[in-house]
Structure 1
Amino acid sequence: MKVNIDLGIVPIGTGVSLSKYIIACHEILDETGLEIKLHAFGTNIEGEWDEVMSAVKRCQEKVHEMGVPRILTTIKLATRTDREQAMSDKVESVLQRKAKGQQSQ
Structure 2
Amino acid sequence: MIVAFSVTPLGVGEDVGRPVAEAVRVIRASGLRNETSAMFTTIEGEWDEVMAVVKRATDAVLAVAPRASFVLKADVRPGVTDAMTSKVDSVERYLAEG
Tell me if TM exceeds 0.5. Answer: yes
Which range moves more in the overlay, 37-46 or 11-20?
A: 11-20
Instruction: Name the residue aligned to 1:26.
Output: 24
State the percentage of identical aligned residues. 33
Instruction: Give the 3-state SS of the residue equivalent to 1:97 in structure 2.
Output: helix
Instruction: Name the residue aligned to 1:42.
Output: 40
1:82 Cα deviation after fit: 6.8
> 2: CA distance between counterparts of 1:83 and 1:29?
21
> 1: CA distance between counterparts of 2:46 and 2:91?
24
Q: Which runs of 5+ in 2 are unaligned?
A: none
1:81 Cα deviation after fit: 3.6
Change (3 A) 1:74 1:94: same
Note if contact 2:23-2:57 (Cα within 8 Å) is conserved in structure 1. yes
List 4+ stretches of structure 1 deviating above 6 A. none
Q: Which amino acid aligns with 2:88?
A: V
> 2: CA distance between counterparts of 1:63 and 1:82?
32
Q: Which runs of 5+ in 1 are unaligned?
A: none
Which range moves more in the overlay, 34-43 or 75-84?
A: 75-84
Instruction: Name the residue aligned to 2:74.
Output: 77
Instruction: Name the residue aligned to 2:5.
Output: 7
- Equivalent pairs counted in the alignment come to 98
